[in-house]
Amino acid sequence: MADIAGVRVLYTGDYSREEDCHLCAAEILQFSLYFNSEKMAKTIRRLAEKTPEVGETVSGFLVKKAFTYQIMALDDLHVFSQLSTENISQRITIAYSGAFGVLKHRLKQIFESVESLPDEESEGPDFRVHERLTVKYESEKHISLHWRSDPISDMVSDSVIISILLILILITSYC
C-alpha cells in the first residue's frame, strides 16, 4: 500500500502546483494520421527464381510469420516454416457378396471413366474409377477401395461407396 501511495504522491505532486489550463477549440492543432493498408507478400525460393509478368498468376502457399507474408511452393514449405505436408492413402473394406462384374457394370453406368487395371498391377479383376480410386476384389464376401486423399478423390470415393451400398440394397430387396 505504501508503494502505491508513494507512486500516487509522485504523480500528483509534479502537477499539483500548476494551475489548470483550459484550451478553446481554436487553440488546438488538427492533425491526421495515414495508415498504409496495402499488404505485400514476398515470393521465396522456387517461386522467386522467375519474375512473374504483370497480371500473371503466382500459385503457392501464403504463410504469415510475425507481420510479414511469404508465398512459397509446396516443396519449400518445410524449409521456411515448421509446417510439413503428408500424403494420406486411404482404404476401406466393404462387405459385398454380389457379383464383381455386376458392380463394375453398374459403376460404368454411373461414372464416365471405369477402366480395368493391367494384369501386372493386380491379381484379380480389379478396376479404377476416374484414375483416382481402385476397387479391388478381396474375397467372395469383401471388396476394398483404395485412394490417395485429396478433395476430388474423397468425393469420388464417397459417391462410389454410396453407389455400392445402393447396389447392395437393390440386390437384397430382389432376393
pLDDT band at 140 (very low <50, low <70, confident <90, very high): confident
What integer pLDDT is reported at residue 142 of this predicted model? 92
CA distance 131 to 151: 14
Q: Global pTM?
A: 0.56
* Residues contacting 119, CB < 8 A, separation 6+: none
What integer pLDDT is reported at residue 2 of this predicted model? 42
**Percent of the chain's residues with pLDDT above 90:** 18
What integer pLDDT is reported at residue 16 of this predicted model? 57
69-111: per-residue pLDDT in tens?
Answer: 888 888 787 777 777 778 899 999 999 888 888 888 889 998 8
- Strands across the sheet with 142-148, in order? 89-95, 142-148, 133-139, 127-129, 114-116
**Do the Cβ atoms of 112 and 130 come closer than 8 Å?**
yes
End-to-end CA distance of the chain: 88
Set of cell numbers at residue 58: 503466382
What integer pLDDT is reported at residue 37 of this predicted model? 73
Residue 115: DSSP 8-state: E
**Do the Cβ atoms of 164 and 100 come closer than 8 Å?**
no
